[in-house]
Structure 1
Amino acid sequence: MTAISPAVDDSGSFRDDVKVISLIGVAHFFSHFYILLLPPLFPILKDAFGVSYVELGLFVMAFSGATGVSQIVCGYLVDRMGAKGILIGGLALEGLAFLLIGLAGSYGAGSYWAVLGLMGVAGVANGVYHPADYAILSASVSERRMGRAFSLHTFTGFFGGAVVPGTIILLASLFGWAVGVALCGAAGIAAAAALLVFGRSLKHEPGADKRRKPGAKADAGPTPASVLLSPPILMCLVFFTLLALSQGGINQFLVSALNALYGTPVEEATVALTSYLFGTAGGILIGGQIADRTRHHNRVAATCFLFTAAAVLVVGSVALPLWLLVALMVGQGVAQGIIMPSRDMLVRSVTPPGAMGKVFGFVSTGFSIGGIVSPLLFGFLLDQGQPSVVFHVVAAFMAVSLVTVFTAVGERRRDDPAA
C-alpha cells in the first residue's frame, strides 16, 4: 500500500485555506449553475423553437453525455498536466458556450441545432470540475480542514443550482431568454478571469499527493477491473444512476410538469423548484453533521428516500396552494441534501483501501447515465400528456434507490466478512 507519513506538512494558514476553498467554490458554483440553466426555460423554449419536450431533453442529454466522457479524460489530464490550467480553461469554455447559446437564440427557431451542438461543447467543458477541484483541494488545503473543504465544495455546487431558476426566469422576463442566457455565459468567463488573476494559491502538480512521504511509491494493488466490477461497487453505480434519474425528473421537469398538470404559472413553479434546490443545499450541511455521528449511512439514506418518495407522490396527486407546495419541496430538498454525505460515506465503506479515486470516478458515471436517460424519459411522458406520471416515476426511482443502499452494504459484507 501507499506509504503515508504521519507527519504530513499541514502548515497552511486558515486564510490560505479559505482562499483556496472560496476560489474552487466559485468554479463549482458555475458547474451546477450551468447544468440547470436551460431546463427552467423549457416551457418558453418549446414555443420559441417549435419543438417537443423530448427534443428539448436532447439538450440535457447532449450535455450529460459529453460530461460523462470528458470527465474520464480530464481525470487523466489532471494527473499528467496539473489541475489549475484545466479548471480555468474549462470554466472559460463553458461560459463561452452559453454566451454563444444566447447569441444563437436571437435567431429564432432555426437555431435549435446550433444550441444542441453548443450544449455538447458546454458538457465537455463541464467535465473538468470534479477531477480538477478535488485534486486542487487535496494538494492545497491543510489536512485538518480537508473534510470541511469537501463539504463546502459540495454545498457551493448545489447552491449554484439553487439560484439559477429564479435568476434565469428574472433575466428572461427583463431582457428575453436569449439575452439572459448570454449574460449568464459572460459571468462564467468573468469568473474564469478572476481565478486566473487571484488563483496563485491553487496548487496542484502532476502526480502530487501531499500525504505521501517523499520518494515513496504506491503498490500496484488490486486491478481496476477486479475493484470496479465487484458487486458492491456495481450496486453503488446503480445507486448513483437511480439518484440522478430521480433528481433529473425534479430538477429538469418540475416547472414543466406542474404547469402542464395544474396550470401552475411558470413563476410560481419556479419558486417551488428554487425552494427545493435551496433546501438541498442546506440539507447537505445538515447531512455532513449526521454523517460524522453515525455508521449507519444506509439507514439515513433510506429514511430520506422514504420521505421524498411520499412527498413527490403528494405533489403529483393533489393541487396544493403555493405555500404548501413550497413547504413540501423544501422538505424534499433537505432530505435529498442529507442523503449526499451519507451517499459518499456509503461508497467509501464498500471501497477497498487504495481504490478511492477510481471507484468514485466510476460510480459518478451513474450521474451521466441518469442525465442522458432522464430528459428523454420525462420529456416523453410530458409529450404524451402524462405529467402526473412524471411524479410517480420519480417516486418509483426513489423507492428502488432505497433498496440499493442496503444491498450494496450486504454485498460488501459477503465479499469481505470483516467489513
Structure 2
Amino acid sequence: MKGLLVAAPASGAGKTTVTLGLARAWTRRGVAVRPFKSGPDYIDPAFLAAAARRSCFNLDSWAMGRAEITALVGHGQGELALAEGSMGLFDGVAKQGATGSGASADIAALMGWPVLLVLDVRGQAQSAAAVAAGMAKFRAGVEIAGVVLNRVASARHEALLRAGMAEAGLPVFGALPRQESVTVPERHLGLVQAAELPRLEALLENAADLASRYCDIEGLRAVAAGRTLAATMEHARPPGQRIALAKDEAFSFLYPHLLAGWRAAGAEILPFSPLADEAPAGDADICWLPGGYPELHAGRLAASRNFLTGLRDFAKLKPVHGECGGYMVLGERLVDAAGAGHEMAGLLRLSTSFAKRRMHLGYRRARLLAPMPGHEAASVLAGHEFHYATILEQRDTPLAEVWDAEGRLVAETGSRRASVTGSFFHLISARLP
C-alpha cells in the first residue's frame, strides 16, 4: 500500500497536528486513509482514527515481527496509508527487536513509505535545512520526501527557510504559522484522550483547514509510495470466547489490533463501564480490565459498589486480568496524587500510590511463570510499561519474569492469586519470531 510516514527530529515538533490535518483533509476529499501509529501509544491512535474515520493500528518494529506488521498494514480497506512516528525519526532502543529497534524509521524502511519531516523552526532559519539534510543522509533505505515547516514567524522567516531547503535539495510541502487553534491539552501520560474532548470534531476540522491552506496536500499524495509485502493475518488467541471488557475514561488503554484480532478469532466483546457502576456480565468467560486513568477517578471507583461487588463475585468462578491501571484496581488500595487512599477490589494483595510519582517507561519482554488468560505458562510476550505509580505492597505470587529492552530484569513482575492475574505490563504481541 502506498503511504507516508510523518516524523520529526524530536518530540514536540508538531507532527501530530500535521498528521491529523492531512488525515482529515484527505478524508474530506474522499480519500480512504488508513491511519497508523509507530510505537507503543494508546492516545494518538484514537485521534488518528477519529480524523480518518477508520481504525488506527500501532506498528512496532521492536515488539512485532515483519509478518505481523505487514499483515496489519494489509488488514482492512484503504488506498493511502498515513503513519505518525514517535519521538524522533531514528529514536529507538539499543537492543534490536524482531524487525528493528522500535524507531519510526524501521517502519518507513520496511514498508517503503517516504518520510514527511516536520520541523519546528522557531529560533532558526537556514540552519533548519542542515538538520533536515543530515537526517536525509543518516540511514540508507529511509527516504525523506520533503519537509513541513512548523511555527513559521513571518513571510521573511519563511523565505529564508525555503532558501535553505532549496540549497539542501529538499522539497517544502508546507509552512505553518504559529497558531493555537489545534492545540490538544495534555496530562501525565500524553494527550488528553480523544473521547474526553467535546470539541474534538472542531479541532480536527481546524487541523484539516490548516493543512489545506498551508500544505501541498495533493503534492504529498503524489509522492506517497510503498511496497506490497505478502503476509497472512494470524488471529490473536482471545483470552475467552465471551470477554467482559471494562471500557470508559478510566479503562481505555487496549490496543486496537489486539481487539480486532480477538473479534476476528470469534470472540464476543461485552463492554461495561465501572465508572457508571456497571458490573461485568455474569455469562462472560473472562473479565479484562485494561489500563487507563483510574487514579483520576479513584474516589468514584471506590464508591462504585455494584461494580466492585460484581467483580468480586465474578472472580470467585472465572478468571480476571488487569493491565496497569486495571491491575491497580484489582489491588486492595490505591493512593491518589493528593495522598488520599481509596479502597479497590481487593482481589490481589497489592497497594499502589501516585503520591510520589516515578516514571516507569520502556519496552518489556515477559516470560509467564503461570498461565494468564489467553496464554500458557512459559509463554514469552512483548509489550511495554508506562506509568507513574509506585508499589507500596505486593504479597501475591509473581506472574512473570520481566526484562527491559537491554535484557535487564525489572522489579514489576505482576501478580497472581487464584484465578486473578495482573501486571503493569501492556501486551503488544505474543507472536515473537
> Is the TM value for this pair above 0.5?
no
Higher-RCO chain (CA-CA 8 Å, sequence separation at least 6) = 1
Q: Greater helix share, 1 or 2? A: 1
Q: Greater strand share, 1 or 2? A: 2
Larger Rg: 2
TM-score normalized with structure 1 length: 0.28
